[in-house]
Amino acid sequence: MITRARARRAAAGMTLLEIIVSMAILAMISILIYGAFDALNRGKKGEALKAERSREGRGAILRISRELSSAYLSMHTPTLPALQTRLTAFVGQTSGSYARVDFTAFAHRRTESDSRQSDQAEVGYFVVKDPDVDDKWDLVRREQTPIDMEPWRGGVVNVLAEDVESFEIRYLDPLSGQWVEQWDTRQATGQINRLPLEVRVTLTLAHVPPGVQKVYTTKVMLPMQKPLAFGIPQ
């Protein structure tokens, strides 16, 4: 039989201590659930960051390789300098850890069908300081179309890969068989009217998370070694 005292306690409901204990247990369960979801979210963000950094490195190297392989020079210029409106060139420079290359190539993509645009363009790859973040350098791509007399200026600049540690380019001289850091087809003291046989590109990303490749490198052969000279006696 249930005594009157026990019956009164059962009718009175939960005590304050029981409520406090129950709330503490619920709070601990909530913390555990939040921790599990937070860990999953951080893991998802980490994997997305790894994939994005890998995509940046691979995509930059692939695009540079593809467009370098379409570099060309042309001998089709007016005899009178005053009539010249375009200059094809290949100019490579190195300053510290960051190289720069500007060249003419069959690299322009027409975004509209039947548009009257040539596939010839000035293309440049170089590293610039991020204007919004201190001590951050980004690899950018420049494209200018149509070609003008300044193959290293103008055009549209877009970021190709963010947070770059170094960008190195070397050029294989087919005459000497040596890898050099500079190339200039405009200068008589340089490599006038001739392209490098091969170009070696090394891109190093900064602040990459563990498990992500940091250094991306490739070698590109330039098939159009001789300047275009259709109809011009050789």
Length of the chain: 234
Q: For the chain, where are the alpha helices, taking DSSP H only?
A: 4-12, 16-68
CA 205, 206, 211, 214 torsion-angle sign: positive
Helix (H) or strand (E) holding 212: none
Q: For residues 79 and 92, what is the distance between their CA atoms, to the nearest angstrom?
A: 27
With CA atoms as reference, report the closest residue to 139 among 101, 92, 103. Answer: 101
pLDDT at residue 148 greater than cutoff 60? yes
Lowest model confidence (mean pLDDT) among 34-48, 109-123, 136-150 = 34-48
Tens of pLDDT, residues 197-230: 999 999 999 988 888 889 999 999 999 998 988 6
Tens of pLDDT, residues 20-56: 888 888 888 888 887 777 777 676 676 777 888 889 9
Domain boundaries, the chain: 51-221
* Residue pair 145/118 in contact by the 8 Å Cβ criterion: yes
Q: What is the pLDDT of residue 218?
A: 96
End-to-end CA distance of the chain: give it in Å, rounded: 120
Mean pLDDT score of the chain, rounded to an integer? 86
Q: For residues 78 and 209, what is the distance between their CA atoms, to the nearest angstrom?
A: 54
Place 83 in a pLDDT band, splitting at 50, 70 and 90: confident
Instruction: Tell me the pTM.
Output: 0.78
Q: For residues 185 and 90, what is the distance between their CA atoms, to the nearest angstrom?
A: 6
Q: Which residues 6+ apart lie within 8 Å of 87 measured at CB?
A: 77, 147, 148, 149, 150, 151, 186
